[in-house]
């Protein structure tokens, strides 16, 4: 049976240098033009040192390093050879099992964080790093066996976090990261117990109580009619918030990555950055370009309309993943700052954010009778249950109005 080729390479990651001008050495695995990178311990070399190690006839310490790297590569090749139908998940399960000599949760954190950074998923990597740091501070240890992650451990950790003023939201983020690491340990054969779930002997990660995040129809109307901007920056970032709302609550990351090749005639076609990696066949979202969307693009869009040009002047093509993340984070802060200034002038009580645009879009469609399936499609949800959770906390005023209909007999 023909097997598609998987390539392994020893690779010097030159995107981020250390203080001593050295770079981390990685194992690069390529399959069907998709690449993933894996740490080779703490190995880091300068460009000159790496060239000597990987040259034709390395000597002395360079020969020793070459042998070490070749052992890693050989081990990876052996794992790949024994996989009938290659998938990165299968490779990682076997490779981590062979390369991890100890049963240590934090080592798995480090491997996964490094992998996320290599893939440019900086925000996610930071989230896992915060989770690891929190659990290390709780255990007061640099090592943690998978066998210690029990229901009791998780309950005590949660109680300690609450005692120290951490929110249910923060605790949930940290524990979901830990849950992923536990699953990796189970797949690698280093963990045999899954402590998360809804059973009596399992721990359930709590969700915070839902908050009202959608604007009322009258509030939305006042937002869209507002013209008294104090500065050009206020006008620009407020319009980006409106653009988000008009495009189904498109998040700032997706707005930032939007290019002119995403615009075809009178429609915007795009896939959410959030789901591109986890679902290669992720749903393409189609946004009809309304008059208001067109006005915002015409006013603030870049004048060069080449297919590879970003629509809005937020990102630059040469940005590193770290620069991209920092820029998107700053743009999000600016949008929130200016939209809250405007909403305060309009005496809107809830703290308006980028999430408000998304929730308001979904709720406004519901007010007009749009089916949940359609709303789900426009939000880019893979499951209508996710959409239902957006809509389940409809305004109390509207619920009371509906309830009153049962005695409204004037039909």
pTM here? 0.62
Containing 130, the helix (H) or strand (E) segment is helix 122-139
Buried b (16+ CB within 10 A) or exposed e, 252-274: bbbbbbbbbebbeeeebebbbee
- CA pair distance 265, 287, nearest whole angstrom: 11
- CA pair distance 56, 49, nearest whole angstrom: 13
pLDDT of residue 383: 62
Q: Do domains 101-209 and 217-402 have the same CATH topology?
A: no
> Pairing state of beta strands 285-288 and 23-31?
unpaired
206 C-beta neighbours (distance < 10 Å), count? 12
318 C-beta neighbours (distance < 10 Å), count? 6
- CA pair distance 235, 334, nearest whole angstrom: 11
pLDDT means per 10 residues, the chain with 411 residues, are: 78 83 90 85 85 90 87 88 86 70 80 85 92 94 87 95 94 96 86 87 84 83 94 97 92 95 91 65 79 95 92 94 92 96 94 90 79 70 59 50 42 40
Containing 39, the helix (H) or strand (E) segment is strand 34-45
Q: Tokens 């946004």 appear where?
A: 287
CB 258 within 8 A of CB 270: yes
pLDDT of residue 177: 97
Q: Tokens 């104090």 appear where?
A: 230
Which residue, 158, 114, 152, 151, is CA-closest to 134?
158
pLDDT of residue 294: 94
Could you state, in order of their start, the residue ranges of all structural domains in the chain? 1-99, 101-209, 217-402
- Domain 101-209 fold is DNA polymerase; domain 1 (1.10.150)
- CA pair distance 360, 390, nearest whole angstrom: 10
- Domain 217-402 fold is hpI Integrase; Chain A (1.10.443)
- CA pair distance 120, 131, nearest whole angstrom: 19
Strand order in the sheet with 23-31: 6-12, 23-31, 34-45
């Amino acid at each position: 049976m023909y097997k598609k080729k998987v390539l392994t390479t020893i690779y010097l990651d030159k995107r981020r240098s250390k203080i001593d001008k050295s770079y981390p050495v990685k194992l690069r695995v390529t399959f069907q033009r998709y690449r993933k990178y894996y740490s080779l311990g703490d190995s880091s070399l300068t460009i000159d040192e790496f060239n000597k190690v990987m040259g034709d006839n390395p000597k002395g310490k360079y020969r020793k390093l070459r042998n070490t790297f070749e052992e890693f590569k050989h081990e990876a090749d052996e794992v790949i050879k024994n996989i009938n139908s290659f998938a990165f998940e299968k490779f990682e399960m076997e490779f981590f099992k062979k390369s991890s000599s100890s049963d240590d949760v934090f080592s798995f954190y480090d491997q996964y964080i490094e992998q996320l950074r290599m893939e440019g998923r900086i925000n996610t990597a930071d989230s896992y790093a915060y989770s690891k740091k929190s659990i290390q501070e709780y255990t007061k240890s640099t090592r943690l066996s998978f066998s210690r992650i029990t229901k009791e451990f998780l309950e005590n950790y949660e109680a300690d976090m609450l005692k120290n003023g951490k929110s249910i939201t923060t605790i949930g983020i940290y524990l979901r990261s830990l849950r992923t690491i536990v699953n990796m340990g189970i797949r690698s054969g280093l963990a045999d117990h899954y402590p998360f779930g809804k059973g009596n002997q399992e721990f359930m990660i709590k969700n915070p109580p839902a908050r009202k995040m959608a604007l009322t129809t009258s509030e939305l109307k006042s937002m869209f009619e507002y013209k008294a901007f104090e500065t050009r920056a206020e006008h620009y970032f407020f319009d980006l918030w409106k653009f988000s709302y008009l495009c189904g609550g498109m998040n700032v990351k997706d707005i930032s990555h939007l290019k002119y090749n995403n615009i075809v005639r009178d429609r915007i076609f795009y896939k959410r950055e959030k789901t591109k990696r986890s679902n290669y066949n992720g749903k393409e979202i189609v946004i009809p370009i309304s008059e208001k969307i067109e006005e915002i693009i015409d006013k603030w869009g870049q004048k060069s309309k080449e297919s590879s040009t970003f629509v809005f002047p937020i990102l630059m093509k040469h940005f590193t993943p770290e620069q991209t993340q920092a820029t998107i984070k700053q743009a999000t802060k600016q949008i929130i700052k200016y939209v809250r200034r405007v909403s305060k002038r309009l005496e809107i009580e809830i703290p308006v954010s980028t999430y408000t645009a998304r929730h308001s879009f979904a709720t406004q469609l519901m007010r007009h009778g749009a089916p949940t399936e359609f709303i789900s499609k426009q939000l880019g949800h893979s499951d209508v249950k996710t959409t239902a959770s957006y809509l389940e906390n409809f305004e109390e005023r509207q619920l009371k109005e509906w309830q009153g209909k049962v005695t409204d007999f004037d039909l």
